[in-house]
Amino acid sequence: MMILRYTGASPYVRKVRIASSVLGLDDKIELSTVNLDDESDRLRGENPLGKVPALIAEDGAVYYDSRVILEYLDHVAGGGRILPRDTAARFAALRLQALCDGILDASLLLVYENRYRPGEMRVQSWIDRQAGKVARGLAALEASAPRLIGTPDVGQITLACMLGYRDLRFDEGWRTTHPRLHAWHDAFAAQVPAFAATKFTG
Ligand SMILES: N[C@@H](CCC(=O)N[C@@H](CS)C(=O)NCC(=O)O)C(=O)O
């Protein structure tokens, strides 16, 4: 049995859970919850970065981050499933994943800014810089939303999780300003049951 160290709200963990479902690996992965703010949580021994997701493989090796775990799960499932073998499709999927992970990273920094940094220490220009990454990223995605055919790839899984995280922590305004992404999100939700099943409800 593999063990997934996780928190319910993490969009990066959600990537892994959706990938696991799509690849038919759910019954091979046990979920183990983490308290990210607890310094005694054993996560910091498993992943020196102290971040989720971390996946403990059957041989005891620990894999992180979500990109590495998705590639590992694809390998366990036989390869070429969520990480296409075709070179052009593979690099398109990896680039889409990088863009959506980057939007997530900027979004998370904004959330952590509010959560951990006292108001008087905030620097507006730095906040604006992160918001710019999000706005430009969403605009680029709206201009070229990927086609959804067959098994979703790592890029599409990450796009869905990124949009879900915007809904969770920000507001749903992106839906009206980005109608093609809105339609894409709904099509993904209809096609991939694990998306609804992994929605964080707090
Ligand atoms: N690039 C990493 C990002 C993981 C990440 O930032 N996870 C957050 C939860 S959403 C976390 O563990 N934060 C705790 C911390 O940064 O100390 C991945 O793709 O797995």
Q: What is the pLDDT of residues 102-150, one digit of tens each?
A: 999 999 999 999 999 999 999 999 999 999 999 999 999 999 999 888 8
Taking the centre of ligand 1 as the mean of its atom positions, its distance from the CA of residue 180, in whole angstroms, is 28
pLDDT over 90, % of the chain: 94
Kindly list the structural domains of the chain, giving each domain's residue range(s) and its CATH number in brackets, ordered by start: 2-76 (3.40.30.10), 87-193 (1.20.1050.10)
C-beta 66 within 6 A of ligand 1 = yes
Q: Facing residues of 2 across strands?
A: 29
DSSP for 21-44 reads: HHTT-GGGEEEEE--TT-TTSTHH
> In testing the pocket of ligand 1, which one of 12, 16, 33, 41 has its CB within 8 Å of the most ligand atoms?
12
Indicate which atom in ligand 1 lies nearest the CA of residue 50: 17
Taking the centre of ligand 1 as the mean of its atom positions, its distance from the CA of residue 12, in whole angstroms, is 7
* CA-nearest residue, atom 5 of ligand 1: 51
Cis, peptide link before residue 53, omega less than 30° from 0: yes
The yes-or-no verdict on residue 59 having pLDDT over 90 is yes
pLDDT of residue 81: 97
- Claim: this prediction has a pTM higher than 0.85: yes
Local confidence band at 193 (pLDDT 50, 70, 90 cut-offs): very high
* CA-nearest residue, atom 2 of ligand 1: 65
pLDDT of residue 167: 95
The stretch 5-17 carries a mean pLDDT of: 98
Taking the centre of ligand 1 as the mean of its atom positions, its distance from the CA of residue 41, in whole angstroms, is 15
> In testing the pocket of ligand 1, which one of 41, 51, 105, 116 has its CB within 8 Å of the most ligand atoms?
51
Report the C-alpha gap between 9 and 199 in whole angstroms: 8
Local confidence band at 202 (pLDDT 50, 70, 90 cut-offs): confident
What does the pLDDT look like over 146-189, one tens digit per residue?
A: 988 889 999 999 999 999 999 999 988 899 999 999 999 999 99
Report the C-alpha gap between 31 and 130 in whole angstroms: 32
pLDDT of residue 183: 96
Report the C-alpha gap between 70 and 127 in whole angstroms: 30
Which residues, 6 or more positions from 104, have their beta carbon under 8 angstroms from its beta carbon?
11, 12, 158, 161, 162, 165
C-beta 51 within 6 A of ligand 1 = yes
- The percent helix, strand, coil of the chain (3-state, each to 5) is 60, 5, 35
Report helix, strand or coil for 60: coil
In this structure, of 7-11, 67-71, 118-122, 191-195, the range with the lowest mean pLDDT score is 118-122
Which residues, 6 or more positions from 138, have their beta carbon under 8 angstroms from its beta carbon?
103, 174, 177, 178, 181
- What average pLDDT does the chain have? 96
User: Cβ–Cβ contacts within 10 Å for residue 41, how many?
Assistant: 15
